[in-house]
């Protein structure tokens, strides 16, 4: 159970469902994130086009992601669409659901360290974490890499220490690493100083980890560690630009290639 979920989803939300009963006219499902509340997918909302055999598209025991079309709180009725969810949305929602389930477990561990239940832990710190970081898992992920991020939340010191410990022990921050070869030269008598300044400009990044290692004049290896390849590639490009701009200001030059030639 995800204790921080509202009682009902909102129209337009994506929800994780377990298929319980399939009829010719539609499928009845349980909403996993909302205490197993029942939802219904009319056959017209199962798939695009004419559905000849509904079980070709949905079957009992299946875990699916649906879009909420309507919510009648008085009747406890939730209308859903399966066909309005694409594969990318489905994968993202399932991963988000898995992450939040894990986050609930982590908060439960935090609570046990403090002698509290999951519900008490959520009331005392979980709500604050969600408000500050957007999601509970996002909070644990951020704190795992930057424990100082908790300073802005205003938690009691003991709670903050417990959250930081559990995050560090249980969250592995995803990262990718890319590298390449730099060649830097300067004709000036004080070339070494200009090269040092250029390399310092290269590693000056607030977003990702940039490291540069000397291979042998005039070659240096530059390595970028980031959360994903897109971010890593962009920072590599930016770092090389910072280095090139710095060294060219003093009459030097820089070139870059992704792999060292053998």
> What are the extents of the domains in the chain?
14-85, 89-170, 176-257
Q: Which of 30, 33, 35, 53 is nearest to 43 (CA)?
A: 53
26-31 vs 14-23, strand pairing mode: antiparallel
Q: Cα–Cα distance between 255 and 44 in angstroms, integer?
A: 59
Q: Cα–Cα distance between 259 and 262 in angstroms, integer?
A: 9
Cβ atoms of 85 and 14 closer than 8 Å: yes
Q: Can you name the CATH fold of 14-85?
A: OB fold (Dihydrolipoamide Acetyltransferase, E2P) (2.40.50)
> In the chain, what's the furthest Cα-to-Cα distance?
84
Which CATH number applies to 176-257?
3.30.70.1130
Report how far apart, in Å, the C-alpha atoms of 148 and of each of 163, 164, 226, 246 are: 12, 9, 19, 32
Q: Which residue has the tokens 């710190």?
A: 125
Q: pLDDT 10s per residue in the chain (262 long)?
A: 555 567 899 999 999 999 999 999 999 999 999 988 999 999 999 999 898 999 999 999 999 999 999 999 999 899 999 999 999 999 999 999 999 999 999 999 999 999 999 999 999 999 999 888 888 998 898 888 788 888 888 888 899 999 999 998 898 776 788 888 989 988 888 888 988 898 898 888 777 788 888 888 788 999 988 877 888 888 889 999 999 999 998 888 988 987 644 3
Our CA dihedral for 83, 89, 95, 99, rounded to 10 degrees, sits at -100
Q: Which residue has the tokens 């005392």?
A: 124
130 CB neighbour count, 10 Å cutoff: 17
Three-class SS of residue 222? strand
Do 14-85 and 89-170 agree at the fold level? no
pLDDT at 59 (0 to 100): 94
Cβ atoms of 30 and 36 closer than 8 Å: yes
Which CATH number applies to 89-170?
1.10.150.190
Please give the span between the terminal C-alpha atoms of the chain, in angstroms, as a whole number: 56
Q: Cα–Cα distance between 224 and 240 in angstroms, integer?
A: 11
List the structure tokens of 135. 């999601």
Specify which residues 44 forms β-bridges with. none
* Reported pTM: 0.61
């Amino acid at each position: 159970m995800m204790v921080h979920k509202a009682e009902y989803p909102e129209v337009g939300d994506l929800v994780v469902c377990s298929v319980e009963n399939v009829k010719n006219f539609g499928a009845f499902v349980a909403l996993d994130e909302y205490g197993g509340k029942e939802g219904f997918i009319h056959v017209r909302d199962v798939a695009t086009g004419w559905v000849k055999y509904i079980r070709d598209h949905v079957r009992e025991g299946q875990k699916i992601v649906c879009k909420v079309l309507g919510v009648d709180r008085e009747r406890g009725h939730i209308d859903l669409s399966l066909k309005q969810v694409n594969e990318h949305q489905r994968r993202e929602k399932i991963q988000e659901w898995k992450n939040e389930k894990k986050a609930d477990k982590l908060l439960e561990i935090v609570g046990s360290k403090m002698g509290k239940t999951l519900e008490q832990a959520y009331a005392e710190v979980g709500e604050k974490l969600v408000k500050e970081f957007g999601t509970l898992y996002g909070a644990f992920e951020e704190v795992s890499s930057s424990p100082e991020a908790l300073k802005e939340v205003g938690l009691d010191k003991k709670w903050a220490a417990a959250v930081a410990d559990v995050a560090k022990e249980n969250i592995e921050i995803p990262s990718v690493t890319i590298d390449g070869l730099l060649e830097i030269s300067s004709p000036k008598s004080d070339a070494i100083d200009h090269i040092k300044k250029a390399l310092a400009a290269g590693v000056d990044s607030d977003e990702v980890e940039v490291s540069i290692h000397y291979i042998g004049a005039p070659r240096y290896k530059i390595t970028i560690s980031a959360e994903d390849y897109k971010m890593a590639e962009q920072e590599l490009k930016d770092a090389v630009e910072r280095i090139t701009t710095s060294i060219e200001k003093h009459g030097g030059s820089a070139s870059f290639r992704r792999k060292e030639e053998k």
